[in-house]
Amino acid sequence: MESIIKSQSLRQTFNLLKYTFGIVPIVAGTDKFTNLLTNWEQYINPTMANLLPFSASVFMMIVGIVEIVAGIIVLKKPEIGGYIVAAWLTVIALTLLLGFNYVDVAVRDLVMAIAALSMARLSKIVK
């Protein structure tokens, strides 16, 4: 009985992480086109923005597409999507840290990357 309860708890934890890392990137990615939640361009490292061959707005739309696709992959194949989201969040955090802008957001993204990695690893146990 105890192993059944542990198994159910593990499955619930996995599902919570799966839907969080599936839905949140889709919502954030979609918002890159509308800027309803925030002005996403403010998070671009100014040095990096100057290197872009297009506007910051176009860059954020590309980022939005990547995030939407990553969220869909998490929902369909969490064992792969978790690693993609973890890597993506780590890159975002490192970019923010390089410019020493939004350090609080960078730390939050690193914590979320660890959670996404944990979800990917859990997916191998919870089938």
The answer to whether 25 touches 76, Cβ cutoff 8 Å, is no
Domains in the chain: how many in total?
1
Whether residue 30 is contained in a domain is answered as yes
Domain interval for residue 115: 2-122
Q: How many helices (H) and strands (E) does the chain have?
A: 5, 0
Whether residue 102 is contained in a domain is answered as yes
Separation CA 65–CA 78 (nearest Å): 18
Whether residue 112 is contained in a domain is answered as yes
Q: For the segment 1-52, what is each residue's pLDDT rounded down to a tens digit?
A: 778 788 899 999 999 999 999 999 999 999 999 999 999 999 898 888 889 9
Whether residue 127 is contained in a domain is answered as no
Whether residue 52 is contained in a domain is answered as yes
- Mean pLDDT over all residues of the chain? 94
pTM of the model: 0.90
Whether residue 32 is contained in a domain is answered as yes
- pLDDT of res. 42: 92
Whether residue 48 is contained in a domain is answered as yes
Q: With CA atoms as reference, report the closest residue to 83 among 59, 115, 36.
A: 115
